[in-house]
Amino acid sequence: MTFTLYNAPPSTCSQRARFVLNAKGLPFDEVKLDLLAGDQLKPEYLALNPGGVVPTLDHDGQIVIDSSVIIEYLDEVAPEPAHFTPADPVARARMRALMRFIDEMPAAAVRVPTFNLAFLPRFAAMSEDEFRAFAESKPLRKEFMLTMGRTGFPEAEMNAALDRLRRTYARMDAEIERSGGPWLLGKDISLADVAVMPALVRMADLGLEAMWSGLPRVGRWYDAIRAHPAFAPTYYPGSLLTERLPHLRERAKQQRAP
**DSSP annotation of 240:** S
Binding residue for ligand GSH, selected from 138, 203, 205, 234, defined by CB under 6 A: 138
Q: How many CA atoms lie within 13 A of 231 on its CB side?
A: 13
Which of 76/80 has CB closer to ligand GSH? Answer: 76
Regarding 35 and contact with ligand GSH (CB under 6 A), the answer is yes
Helices 191-205 & 12-23 angle (0-180, nearest 10): 130
Count of residues that bind ligand GSH according to CB under 6 A: 14
Regarding 141 and contact with ligand GSH (CB under 6 A), the answer is yes
- Cα distances from 249 to residues 201, 205, 240, in angstroms, run 14, 9, 10
Of 122, 246, 110, the residue nearest 167 (C-alpha):
110
Q: Is the peptide bond before 182 cis (omega within 30 degrees of 0)?
A: yes
Which of 18/138 has CB closer to ligand GSH? Answer: 138
Which of 141/171 has CB closer to ligand GSH? Answer: 141
Regarding 98 and contact with ligand GSH (CB under 6 A), the answer is no
Regarding 66 and contact with ligand GSH (CB under 6 A), the answer is yes
Regarding 85 and contact with ligand GSH (CB under 6 A), the answer is no
Regarding 116 and contact with ligand GSH (CB under 6 A), the answer is no
Nearest distance, CB of residue 230 and ligand GSH, angstroms: 18
Helices (H), 54-88: 67-77
Regarding 67 and contact with ligand GSH (CB under 6 A), the answer is yes
Give all strands of the β-sheet with 3-7 in edge-to-edge order. 28-32, 3-7, 56-59, 62-65
Of 102, 78, 86, 91, the residue nearest 23 (C-alpha):
78
Nearest distance, CB of residue 40 and ligand GSH, angstroms: 5
Regarding 7 and contact with ligand GSH (CB under 6 A), the answer is no
Residues that bind ligand GSH (CB under 6 A): 11-13, 35, 40, 52-55, 66-68, 138, 141
